[in-house]
Chains A and B, each alone.
Chain A
């Protein structure tokens, strides 16, 4: 079914309201011959926000799928968004065999993309400081969302996003893809089923970025909307290093746009630790920065005394190590899992034991859940709880003192100055 995309002025005024031709079928912009076997009624239409480093693999994956159609891309860098648009059109033209396809739009402003009634779902792959605003706009417009980790820049953002997902019935997946890796799931099942006894100490390897720095002002490149890139964060003079996409640093180094390694790798490993401990709806109660009171390592504590140490040496060069009263589990990416005793790693689960959510592909899990309306493996509440750990670790580090946290009331205790960090004020005219 071809859709009339010449919106009337009346429809344009209702920017934000859904406009459908026939409500019983999903809108299709292109003939089904372009996208092969998947019928329009089964096809999920996507908008992609943030066409930088992190989007690459997800974008290519979605363009290759017959049950998904990318209708729009969005980026504050004109070159990136035009290149992404071209990439999509080339991909679909190649698939159709006709040689041409012109059905992917490119936007500077995510608000316009989110307002499109023909887009079912949105992938948000921007730097951390944009995650909440883009996601909330999509959620409230009735779209499902895949948002990169860490889910948020502040604790308040996470609570708002999780509540909004519940309110609007959103299928929301946080990009904590380690949950969809077998070894991590198995490690968590071993811990959850008590196979290594009571876990008391956990090590997580995050590494370190170079410290942030002040940078000299440079001219803003043509086609790059720096004001929009900054968005809600405080204004600083433009410098390419500040906005650079780089897994080894770039914007990730700066506290304005994230919580440095706490959010970069902590969002992965703290997330797995939460899963293993069965704390997905709660969290730790105390955060101690490295060097405070004899703590050689940044540490956070759960109410039962279990402690998590950042960057303590880990057996076998693994990424996470769980130490229990009756054994240990070490786990890393690349399907690496070692246990003490060794046979635990391969021992099968009984039907009566705890079987954790199994997902074999993080993106596909999200797409499947969009159809079935089941919760995906890492929904907003889980992402929020994990990101909260990242933020509180960062706040304790910046303040140079421990923090006490109530995970039920979600409040920082006995430290009004630290409480101010629950949320950050937004630069005008950006509104959450």
Chain B
């Protein structure tokens, strides 16, 4: 019927839809009126069409979509909603009971979605209508039990007062599962009559499991009118019922709940005592939440005294958990008063009680308990000391530094380590001063911990304290302090280290250069190059070069940093020039490469040696050509030849961004020019990483050469392992395998054939 409502019907419907059309107009307005009427009719038609399309849902599926909120729904009154839900329900019912279990899920979810939508804010009429439909139908004889469960589950989510009678009745259903679905639905029902229904059922209940459920529901609802029946249940013969009653009374709380629970302690000793104590703790916690600290303290104090006395009189029974919880509570409620007892508690023979004190003090915002613990620190057992130290570390209490420092001399390593960590975390200058001697002259874990701690210690004047130790004093201490400055990377460290690097004391200079690695990105390369140039040859200069390498490597502007060093080289003496040259590979720039290549070809032996060594460590493919040229020169000394060969092959193999044909050409050239079989074999191995027709061609030739066939075969297998075309890879590997050159070759070929080997890395 959608869209096929005629115009006449629309016109008839127009006024019934509330449109007021004033037909009583004077003659001269009739035309305007007729125009307005035409517009109104068109508008009304469109409105009627749109409403008609939806309001009279043409199919039940469309209706369900409306009821689930997926499409707009028209306004309905309560009766109309009931009718709509009834229709939808009747439609879904057989689907929810279908033979095929899997097909039931979708209609169940539709019913659930209807409930979710109906229960949205501002839709109370819909919710009530649906709830009534569900309540009315849940008792039908034709319903599968799981469908009934599902319906009641929806009432749990949306039901209010209208659902209570039905749910109360279902609590007597023969199906035990349905009874419990109904009980749970009442537990969630906001109407007061739900409490009455649950109470009535409890009075009549015989089965322990059922009683537990009812009791739990009443407790969760916080039903104060249930306190007496619940107190009665404390005496139930079944301990699970009594235990549930305690929990329920604890949930209800208040004076009534507490009084009822206390009655347990008038009964003979039983496991219920523990449950009751836990219940009282819950009530005390609730009082703390309501800021009734005096009320909470009353319970905690009573529990602590009771549990302690109990433990004293019954040596084989120790309710430490109750004592611990009570202590935690007392510290929370009245930290000042509780602080006076901390001495007693921390000398309790039970380590779990002592641990609870530490936990409670940790949670307390008051400083008094912390101070009380700090005062006891040196007389506690080691385990407690470690725990308190951890607390002090996290609290960052400056006033605890002195007692903590005393524990740096503890006989127990775990205590010493904890003390170091605490001073690190608290972060004060005198804490730093206490740790420095350990960092300098200590040993093992303690020294490591002290150094790590000082490297990260934050706090006022810590930096100044360390800087002061770096500036003056015994060299051993200055060395450690300078290293720490590097690790700490404070602003200005670069300048400080540069100044120490020219210290007359070699230890100091060495330490400064070493520390520069940690702040390499902030060191000015030109200034450092100056220092290197001025440094004494040997150790001091070598240290400078190490620092220079780190700086060049970390430089954001490598070209500028490299050029600064190159410029300084021009005016440096020979030794310094060579030293700086050896750092240029850390720069890796084109300009630096040019300088190094020149040096490599210099007639000055020392310079040439340094150049070649540096070139052989070069980080990029651009160095390969010069290296291969060195390999090719017959007059290249053997050592340099070896270095150049290795450097060239390393770069050829690793430079994946360089063009393959260039890499292959350079590798073949290296092979051709290599003087010794060892280097030739290395070149062959490198070919294994360079898949290309020229590589294959050369390797196939080399397979016929007795001296190199094993290496050539391995390289072929390596190539096969890198091939993405698995068929071609297997064919190549098989071919090599069939040649049966050696066990190692066969093993690698089989690995490729089985898919286990994917190329040497």
Contact = CB atoms under 8 A, between A and B. Distances in A.
Interface of A: 8, 11, 13-20, 23-24, 26, 117, 140-142, 163, 166-170, 211-217, 234-237, 348, 350-352, 355, 371-375, 398-401, 414-417, 420, 423, 425-429, 431-432
B271 A13 contact: yes
Task: Provide the main secondary structure of the chain A interface.
Answer: loop
Nearest to A370: B355
Interface string B152-163: 010011100000
B352 A216 contact: no
15 contacts: A11-B317, A140-B321, A142-B352, A167-B325, A168-B356, A213-B102, A235-B180, A352-B458, A375-B362, A415-B121, A423-B220, A428-B210, A428-B212, A431-B216, A432-B247
Given A212-B105, A351-B458, A168 B318 contact: no
A401 B244 contact: no
Contact of B271 (A15, A18, A211, A355): A15
A428 B458 contact: no
A432 B215 CA distance: 12
Contact of A18 (B321, B390, B455): B321
B517 to A, nearest CB: 12
Given A24-B349, A429-B209, 20 more contacts: A16-B274, A18-B321, A26-B351, A142-B320, A168-B328, A169-B355, A169-B356, A215-B102, A235-B149, A372-B390, A373-B358, A373-B359, A398-B112, A417-B116, A425-B187, A428-B210, A428-B212, A428-B214, A429-B208, A431-B247
A24 B351 contact: yes
B456 interface: yes
A115 to B, nearest CB: 9
B423 interface: no
B108 A214 contact: yes
A426 B244 CA distance: 12
B99 to A, nearest CB: 10
Given A235-B177, A351-B488, A371-B383, A19 B316 contact: yes
Interface string B165-198: 0000000000001001101110110100000000
Q: Which 3 A-B pairs have the closest CB atoms?
A: A428-B213, A142-B321, A169-B359
B102 A426 contact: no
B692 to A, nearest CB: 31
A13 B190 CA distance: 39
B270 interface: yes
Contacts of A355: 456
B297 interface: no
Given A14-B271, A417-B158, A431 B244 contact: yes
B589 interface: no
Main secondary structure, interface of B, reads: helix
B507 interface: no
B244 A429 contact: yes
A237 B147 CA distance: 12
A400 B209 contact: no
Interface residues of B, number: 88
A400 B271 contact: no
B208 to A, nearest CB: 7
Nearest to A347: B521
Contacts of B149: 234-235
Contacts of A400: 68-69, 113, 116-117
A163 B288 CA distance: 11
A351 B457 contact: yes
Contacts of A350: 488-490
Nearest to B120: A401
A166 B116 contact: no
B483 to A, nearest CB: 15
A126 B271 CA distance: 26
A429 B394 CA distance: 43
Given A19-B317, A237-B146, A429-B213, A166 B328 contact: yes
Interface in B367-386: 383, 386
B324 interface: yes
Contacts of A425: 156, 183-185, 187-188, 217, 220
Given A14-B274, A417-B120, A425-B217, A234 B212 contact: no
B350 interface: yes
A288 B456 CA distance: 42
A214 B101 contact: yes
Contacts of A217: 101
Nearest to B381: A24
Interface string B96-112: 00000110110010001
A348 B522 CA distance: 13
B318 A140 contact: no
B359 A142 contact: no
B393 to A, nearest CB: 8
A288 B177 CA distance: 34
A167 B285 contact: yes
Given A167-B281, A167-B285, A350-B489, A416 B121 contact: yes
A373 B390 contact: yes
Contacts of B188: 420, 425
B546 interface: no
B462 to A, nearest CB: 8
B212 A414 contact: no
Contacts of A373: 355, 358-359, 362, 387, 390-391
Contacts of A8: 316
B274 A17 contact: yes
Contacts of B184: 234, 425-427
Contacts of B203: none
B119 interface: yes
B54 interface: no
Nearest to B456: A351
Contacts of B213: 427-429
Interface in B385-405: 386-387, 390-391, 394
Nearest to A166: B363
Nearest to B300: A167
B736 interface: no
Interface string B415-455: 00010000000000000000000000000000000000001
A211 B105 contact: yes
A213 B321 contact: no
Contacts of B181: 234-235
B329 interface: yes
Q: Interface centre among B112, B285, B325, B457, by most A CB within 10 Å?
A: B325
A340 to B, nearest CB: 17
A233 B731 CA distance: 60
A425 B198 CA distance: 14
B323 to A, nearest CB: 9
Contacts of B275: 16
Of residues A14, A213, A375, A398, which shows the largest number of chain B Cβ atoms within 10 Å of its Cβ?
Answer: A14
A146 B185 CA distance: 33
Contact of A169 (B156, B216, B328): B328
A18 B102 contact: no
Contact of B269 (A13, A20, A117): A13
A16 B274 CA distance: 7
A170 B356 CA distance: 8
B180 A427 contact: yes
B120 A169 contact: no
Contact of B386 (A372, A423, A431): A372
Contacts of A375: 362, 394
B390 A415 contact: no
B180 A14 contact: no
B554 to A, nearest CB: 10
Given A167-B285, A398-B116, A429-B244, A141 B489 contact: no
Contacts of B734: none
B148 to A, nearest CB: 12
